[in-house]
Amino acid sequence: MLNINTKNILIIKLRAIGDVVLMSPILENLRNHFPNVNIDCLVDANCSQILSHNPHISSIISFDKNSQSSLSIIKTIRNKKYDTVIDLFGNPRSAIITLLSGAKNKIGFNFRMRKYAYNIVVDAITKDAHNIETNLNVLRSLGIPITTSNPKVYLNNGVINKAANWLNSNNLTDKLLIGINVGGGWSTKKYLPSHYIKVIKNILNSVDAHFLILWGPREFDDAKLIADSDTKKCHLLPSTSILELSAFISKLNFMISNDSGPMHISAALGIKTLGIFGPTTPKNQGPFGEGNITIRKDELDCLECQLLKCPIGNICMTELDSLKVSDAFFKLSSLPKVN
């Protein structure tokens, strides 16, 4: 049970944008239970913007491992005198930061040797549980009631208006919009651009739709290849920040995406989302929420390998039939398919 006298809490969630999005229910539940407590977050620098308008946190500590040392972050945290640090990441770096934080309550999962960094150790729940439920189990273990499990992304009017203006200038305001997200943190999670082109053609055989092709810093060439396949129906988004990209996602009717941050952003914004999976686990990391679905090449026995490099040609992605993906889209959307 977390003491009701708790005043100053730090949540640690390093690494990817999707992980930070899936952590957001923790923030809302903590704020509901502790309306007057200071709640800060330590996240990687590239993830801080996705939390910048979250009303449930007090401040963000950004960690750039390329320019900051763990010692400098530990010094910052100790100076803030947190009484409670909750490590939701549980790797060696975050465990050491928690151990040396100076907090009275050092909370984390029972992961191997890292568990010795904490004086309150929480069991990670079953392997079939979604990552959100694993996070929320920390609060349950502390006696904090769960009032919501839904992830959320908060946008400001500036990015919403910027997306709306771009759509209006491209005559897309009243069109059926489907997002295609080519990105993924690992190359093994990426569905091929040539396959996405086939998926788009399959959908266009039945539906009058337009496709917004989403991309990040390392994905422009793949996104442009897809956009150039049908310049009347496929629209390459301009360069965006992650918050601006989220605003475009909020304007979609549907999203088709690799397992990635934008996939989780889409689900958190209430957009019906189809996640394409291979090396990662849909039960743990699929798009969260009612109506969202996933697709993968189920007949393979090497799925969920968690490998960043595949020794057999990444066949979970290269051999996933585009017709199977487009059929999954029609299941997701309930739009009529012409046989």
Along the 339 residues of the chain, how does pLDDT read in single tens digits? 666 578 999 999 998 999 999 999 999 999 999 999 999 999 999 999 999 999 999 999 999 988 899 899 999 999 999 999 999 998 999 999 999 999 999 999 988 888 999 999 998 766 789 999 999 999 999 999 999 999 999 999 999 999 999 999 999 999 999 999 999 989 999 999 999 999 999 999 999 999 999 999 889 999 999 999 999 999 999 999 999 999 999 999 999 999 999 999 999 999 999 999 999 999 999 999 999 999 999 999 999 999 999 999 999 999 999 999 999 999 999 999 987
Residue 87 lies in a domain: yes
Compute the distance between CA of residue 306 and CA of residue 58 in angstroms, rounded to an integer: 35
Q: Are 288 and 22 in contact (CB under 8 A)?
A: yes
| Pair 135, 175 in one domain | no
Per the structure, the count of domains in the chain is 2
Compute the distance between CA of residue 7 and CA of residue 325 in angstroms, rounded to an integer: 49
Q: Are 258 and 183 in contact (CB under 8 A)?
A: yes
Residue 101 lies in a domain: yes
Number of Cβ within 10 Å of residue 165's Cβ equals: 11
Residue 149 lies in a domain: no
Compute the distance between CA of residue 75 and CA of residue 185 in angstroms, rounded to an integer: 30
| Pair 105, 206 in one domain | no
| Pair 52, 107 in one domain | yes
- Residue 275's DSSP bridge partners are 257, 294
| Pair 72, 192 in one domain | no
Q: What is the CATH number of the domain that holds 192?
A: 3.40.50.2000
| Pair 191, 129 in one domain | no
Residue 150 lies in a domain: no
| Pair 93, 122 in one domain | yes
Q: Where are the alpha helices (DSSP H) in 47-130?
A: 70-80, 92-99
DSSP structure class, residue 46: G
Place of tokens 């957001």: 24
Residue 151 lies in a domain: no
| Pair 119, 181 in one domain | no
Instruction: Please give the residue range of the domain that contains residue 277.
Output: 157-333
Q: Which of 86, 107, 141 is the last residue of a domain?
A: 141
| Pair 250, 127 in one domain | no
